[in-house]
Amino acid sequence: MRIKILFIILLSITVNKIYAQEVEGNINIHTFADNREYGKSGRYPQTIFGLRFSPEIGLLLDSTHRIRVGFNALHEFGSPKFTNKIDPVVYYEFLKQNWNFYMGVFPRHNLLSDYPRAVLTDTLNYYRPNVEGMLVKYENENWRQTIFIDWTSRQTATDRENFIFGFSGRYKKGIFFVSHYAMMLHNAGPAIEIPGDHIEDNGAIAVKIGLDLSDKTFLDSLTLNTGGLMSFERTRSVGDWQTPKGVLLEMHAEYHRFGIINSFYSGEGHNLNFGDQFYTAKKYNRTDLIWRPIIYKNIEGKLALSFHFVDGVVDSQQAFGLRYNIGGSKSLRKKND
């Protein structure tokens, strides 16, 4: 009898806690067309054309704790398969004051999407949309700092052990800002050793100092920055660290729905596994002409015409992306509460 009473009490407490929570839902659709005409410079030309569909559902336990479950499915246009790949989305989020913590498999977009392409290529947005690991972010009026680890391959008898860890941050005071971005790929071997194989480390760091003149001109946004890029690469027990370096210069201006971004690099060539392939060159300039034809509630569109000046030739790129995101929540509280 006492056990039954105890069970009823525990059940009542559990039900009351569930009713104090909110059910949340979110649907994200990312459609993209990215035509990369990279043949003149000998880079990898390709057309990336498809969509990603990612629904999520979960509980907002209170103002601090959240749990989400879902998936992210890729369909590449022209493929006979219904989906080319399905990635799970399962994560816990902690949000309190200036702190934000994620653990599990969670979307990369808006968390790590500000990394320079030289350090983390934007191709990851198409083929690796999730981070599998942990991320901590602290942000206030002037500071922002993010630290993450992304486990990219679990070790088996034949599969290698890979993971990326990194950190980024920004400090802004008035029109002045300084930002930094760093990552390192740890590439270890499989459980069954391969003769002559060695652990590899491959990473980079970029530091920028600039001016945000958005409030000083008639433009919607205007930023200028300069800085440095250094990469780190070694094969353990084989060679010493290789640390090529170079200078970065950037300008970003936008007015209404039109914008221009110019990125210039000069220095030594880099060999980054997850970095943009154009930074293997000693001198490289990229110019992006941007138009945002759709910015309406939960819909965002972006067309970019890009020109890559490298190795004495000009490669081109045309990319259009459309994101649609809708979400909502419903309280589980009893109506008479």
| Mean pLDDT (the chain, rounded) | 91
Q: Which of 5-19, 173-187, 222-236, 289-303 has the lowest mean pLDDT?
A: 5-19
Question: Residues 230-246: pLDDT tens digits?
Answer: 999 999 988 899 999 99
Element (H, E) at 9: helix 2-19
Contact 244, 267 (CB under 8 A): yes
The reported pLDDT for the residue numbered 10 is: 38
Domain ranges of the chain: 22-331
Least confident of 8-22, 90-104, 113-127, 213-227: 8-22
**What are the DSSP E strand ranges found in the chain?**
22-37, 46-60, 65-76, 85-96, 99-107, 130-139, 143-153, 161-173, 176-188, 200-212, 221-235, 245-255, 258-267, 283-291, 295-296, 299-310, 313-331
Q: What pTM was computed for the model?
A: 0.88
| From 54-58, 317-321, 326-330, the region with the lowest mean pLDDT | 326-330
Taking residues 28-55, report their average pLDDT: 96
User: Is the pLDDT assigned to residue 18 strictly greater than 80?
Assistant: no
Please determine, for residue 19, whether its predicted confidence score (pLDDT) is greater than 60.
no
- Residue 38 and residue 46: Cα distance in Å, rounded? 8
> Averaged over 168-193, what is the pLDDT?
95
Q: Note the CATH number of domain 22-331.
A: 2.40.160.10
Quick: pLDDT tens for 186-206.
Answer: 999 899 888 988 899 999 999
Residue 12 in tokens = 């009542």
Residues 6+ apart with CB under 8 A from 241: 232, 233, 234
